[in-house]
C-alpha cells in the first residue's frame, strides 16, 4: 500500500534544499562504505556464498520458487543462520508539462507548487536462523527516508518509484519490516538444494513440499512474482510494470501486512493461498490483526514449463477483500441528491467486499533475454488499498549485457496501459478526490506508461542505474501531460 495524506515534510529555501540533498548524499556514501566493509568481512566468514538474488523493500521475495541446483544434484551445505543486507538510493526529476488546471490530488509543476525532485533512501538487514527440523525464523529491521514530488504521493495511477510506497518521511524512520516464521513439511519426490539468499537459508528440501509462513511480511513477497520485473531496486521502478497494477493487495501504509501463507510445491506446479490483514481504515498503518473483520484472501496457481527448451512460467491469481472501505457509487448518489461534490470518505459506513484477478507470465528467449507480461482487473467500486488502477496491461523485455561484454549489466524496456472503472470516472468528473488522484475535472483517457533503464554493475555488489519514464494522460486525464521522469539509482547488497 501507499501512504497518502498529511506528511511531515520540511520546506526548505533554495540554499537549504541543496544543503539537505548534500546531507542525503553523505548519508548514502557512508552507508555504502559501511555495507561494503561488512560485506567484505562476511564474505570471508559466511557459512555459504551470498546469492545474487535481487532484494526489494516491500516486495522482497521471501519464498516463491527458491533458487535450486540441478534436479538430481547432491545434497549441499546447510546454513544454520544468515545475514544479508541492502541499501538503495533513488533520485528522480520531472519536466514541466502541460497543465491547464489542477486539483488537490494532481501531480504539480514547479509553478503550481510541486517539487522538481523526489528521492528515496532505504537500508534493510535480512537476518535468519534455523529453529528445529524444517523451521526457520526471519527478522528484517529497516530504515527509510524519502519524499514524493508534491510532498505527498498523488497525481498518477502508476507511480514512478516503487520505493515511494513507504510514504514521505524526512528525517528517516526505523521499523521492523518483516518478522515471521516458516515451517516446511517434506512430501517426497527426491531432494533438491536451495541456495542461500535474503530470507532464505541454504539447505536441502523435498522437491514436493508444503511451506507455511506466519507473521509480518509483504504480500508481494509471495504473490505476483516474476523473474524479469518484480524488484524496483534492481529492475523496473513503475508500480504498474513491476507488479499487477490492478492488484489491490493487503498492506499497511508502509507496504507490509500480517497473516498466514501456505505454499504447495508439486512437480511443475505451485499453489499458494493466504489470509492477510488489511488496515482498519484504508491507507493507514493500523492493521486488523484478528484477521476476521478487515482481511484479504488470495489464491495463486503457477505452472513452470519449458518452451523450445527455454524456461518459463504462467501464473493465475484471484483475490477477495472484506474491509472498511468507501464506495464510489454511494458517493456519487449522495452528491447528486445533495447537489454537492462527491466524497468517498463519507461512505465508510460498513464493511464492504471487493475482488479481482490477474494473469502473469515470463518466458526466457535465450540465456540473456527474457520477456514478461501481466493483465489485472478489479471492479473499481471501492477505495483502493494500493494504487488507483482498476485494469492494467503491462509487459516488456529484459536483456543481460553478455553480448557487449558486460554480463552483469541489464537493460529493460517496458510499458503499461492503465484504466479505471466507469463509476470512478464519473466520480472524478464531478470533482471528487480518490485516495491518490483528483484534478477537479476529468477528460478520461487511459494512462500510458513507457519505461526503460540500464543497470550497470560498477564494483562487486554495487549497481548504478539510469531510468527514464514517459507517462501520457497522468491520472487518466488527457488534458494534462505527458510527463517525463529522469532518475538515477544506486543499489548495494551483501
Determine the pLDDT at residue 371: 98
Residue range 14-493, CATH number: 2.40.160.10
Nearest by Cα to 50 from 34, 70, 33, 67? 67
Report the SS3 class of residue 17.
helix
Measured CA angle at 63 (ends 390, 225), to 5 deg: 30
Residue 171, preceding bond cis, omega within 30 degrees?
yes
CA distance 310 to 228: 14
Domain residue ranges of the chain, discontinuous segments joined by +:
14-493
| pLDDT at residue 66, as a whole number | 55
What pLDDT score was predicted for residue 37? 38
Question: What one-character-per-residue DSSP string does 420-478 give?
Answer: --HHHHHHHHTT---SS-B-SS--B--EEEEEEEEEEEEETTEEEEEEEEEEESGGGBT
- CA atoms of 154 and 5, how far apart (whole Å): 9
- What's the whole-model pTM score? 0.84
The span from the CA of 327 to the CA of 339, in Å, is 18
26-35 burial: b if 16+ Cβ within 10 Å, else e: ebbeebbeeb
What is the rounded distance in angstroms from the CA atom of residue 376 to the CA atom of residue 360? 9
Model pLDDT, residue 68: 52
Nearest by Cα to 321 from 264, 254, 251: 251
pLDDT of 167: 67
> Distance (Å, rounded) from C-alpha 161 to C-alpha 177?
19
pLDDT at position 41 is: 38
φ/ψ of 390, rounded to 5, equals -110, -20
Sole residue written with cell 484479504: 296
Going residue by residue through the chain (494 aa), what tens digit of pLDDT does each one get?
A: 444 433 333 333 333 333 333 434 444 444 443 444 344 434 433 333 333 333 334 544 444 455 554 444 456 789 999 999 999 999 999 999 999 999 999 999 888 877 778 999 999 999 999 999 999 999 999 999 999 998 888 999 999 999 987 667 778 999 999 999 999 999 999 999 999 999 999 999 999 999 999 999 999 999 999 999 999 999 999 999 999 999 999 999 889 999 999 999 999 999 999 999 999 988 888 999 999 999 999 999 999 999 999 999 999 999 999 999 999 999 999 999 999 999 999 998 888 899 999 999 999 999 999 999 999 999 999 998 889 999 999 999 999 999 999 999 999 999 999 999 999 999 999 999 998 999 999 999 999 999 999 999 999 999 999 999 999 999 999 999 999 999 999 999 98
Whether the bond between 482 and the residue before it is cis, its omega within 30 degrees of 0, is: yes
- In sequence order, which residues have a C-beta less than 8 Å from that of residue 155 and are 6 or more positions away? 105, 106, 107, 108, 149, 436, 437, 474, 475
**Residue 411, Cβ neighbours under 10 Å: how many?**
18
- Distance from C-alpha of 295 to C-alpha of 322, rounded to nearest angstrom: 6
- Distances in whole angstroms, Cα of residue 7 to Cα of each of 58, 151, 182, 253, 258: 20, 7, 35, 12, 24
Mention every residue, 6+ apart, whose C-beta is less than 8 A from residue 115.
Answer: 147, 148, 149, 150, 151
**Which three-class secondary structure string do you get for 121-176?**
EEEEEEEEEECCCCEEEEEEEEEEEEECCCCCCCCCCCCCCHHHHHCCEEEEEEEE
- Residues paired with residue 209 on neighbouring β-strands, in sequence order: 186, 265
Strand-pair partners of 135: 183
Q: What's the confidence (pLDDT) of residue 61?
A: 45
Please report, in angstroms and rounded to a whole number, the separation of the first and last CA atoms in the chain.
27
Q: Give the integer Cα–Cα distance in Å for 339 and 230.
A: 44
CA atoms of 400 and 407, how far apart (whole Å): 6
pLDDT at site 285:
85
Amino acid at each position: 500500500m501507499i501512504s497518502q495524506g498529511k506528511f511531515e515534510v520540511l520546506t526548505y529555501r533554495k540554499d537549504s534544499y541543496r544543503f539537505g540533498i548534500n546531507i542525503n548524499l553523505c548519508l548514502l556514501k557512508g552507508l555504502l562504505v559501511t555495507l561494503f566493509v561488512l560485506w567484505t568481512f562476511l564474505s570471508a566468514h559466511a557459512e555459504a556464498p551470498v546469492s545474487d538474488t535481487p532484494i526489494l523493500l516491500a516486495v522482497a521475495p521471501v519464498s516463491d520458487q527458491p533458487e535450486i541446483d540441478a534436479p538430481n544434484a547432491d545434497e549441499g551445505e546447510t546454513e544454520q543462520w544468515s545475514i544479508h543486507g541492502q541499501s538503495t538510493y533513488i533520485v528522480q526529476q520531472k519536466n514541466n508539462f502541460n497543465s491547464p488546471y489542477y486539483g488537490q490530488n494532481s501531480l504539480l509543476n514547479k509553478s503550481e507548487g510541486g517539487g522538481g525532485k523526489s528521492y528515496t533512501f532505504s537500508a534493510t538487514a535480512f537476518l535468519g536462523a534455523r529453529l528445529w527440523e524444517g523451521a526457520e525464523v526471519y527478522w528484517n529491521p529497516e530504515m527509510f527516508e524519502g519524499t514524493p514530488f508534491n510532498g505527498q504521493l498523488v497525481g498518477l495511477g502508476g507511480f514512478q518509484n516503487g520505493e515511494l510506497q513507504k510514504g514521505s518521511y524526512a528525517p528517516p524512520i526505523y521499523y521492523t519490516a518483516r518478522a515471521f516464521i516458516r515451517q516446511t513439511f517434506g512430501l517426497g519426490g527426491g531432494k533438491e538444494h536451495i541456495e542461500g539468499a535474503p530470507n532464505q537459508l541454504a539447505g536441502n528440501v523435498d522437491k514436493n513440499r508444503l511451506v507455511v509462513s506466519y507473521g509480518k511480511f509483504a504480500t508481494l513477497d509471495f504473490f505476483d512474482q516474476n523473474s524479469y520485473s518484480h524488484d524496483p531496486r534492481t529492475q523496473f521502478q513503475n508500480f504498474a510494470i513491476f507488479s499487477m497494477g490492478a492488484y489491490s493487495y493487503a498492506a499497511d501504509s508502509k507496504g507490509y501486512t500480517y497473516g498466514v501463507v501456505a505454499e504447495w510445491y508439486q512437480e511443475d506446479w505451485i499453489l499458494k493461498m493466504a489470509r492477510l490483514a488489511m488496515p482498519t481504515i484504508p491507507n493507514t498503518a493500523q492493521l486488523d490483526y484478528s484477521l476476521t473483520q478487515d482481511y484479504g484472501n488470495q489464491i495463486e496457481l503457477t505452472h513452470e514449463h519449458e518452451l523450445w527448451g527455454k524456461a518459463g512460467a504462467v501464473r493465475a491469481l484471484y483475490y477477495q477483500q472484506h474491509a472498511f472501505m468507501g464506495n464510489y457509487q454511494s458517493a456519487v448518489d449522495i452528491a447528486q441528491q445533495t447537489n454537492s461534490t462527491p466524497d468517498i470518505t463519507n461512505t465508510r459506513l460498513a464493511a464492504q467486499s471487493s475482488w479481482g484477478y490477474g494473469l502473469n507470465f515470463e518466458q526466457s528467449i535465450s540465456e540473456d533475454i527474457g520477456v514478461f507480461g501481466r493483465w489485472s482487473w478489479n471492479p473499481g467500486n471501492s477505495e483502493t488499498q494500493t494504487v488507483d488502477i482498476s485494469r492494467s496491461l503491462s509487459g516488456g523485455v529484459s536483456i543481460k549485457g553478455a553480448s557487449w561484454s558486460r554480463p552483469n549489466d541489464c537493460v529493460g524496456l517496458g510499458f503499461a496501459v492503465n484504466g479505471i472503472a466507469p463509476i470512478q470516472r464519473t466520480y472524478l468528473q464531478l470533482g471528487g478526490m480518490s485516495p491518490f488522484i483528483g484534478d477537479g475535472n476529468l477528460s478520461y483517457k487511459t494512462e500510458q506508461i513507457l519505461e526503460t533503464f540500464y543497470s550497470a554493475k560498477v564494483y562487486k555488489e554495487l549497481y548504478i542505474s539510469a531510468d527514464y519514464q514517459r507517462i501520457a494522460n497522468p491520472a487518466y486525464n488527457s488534458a494534462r501531460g505527458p510527463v517525463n521522469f529522469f532518475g538515477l539509482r544506486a543499489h548495494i547488497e551483501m
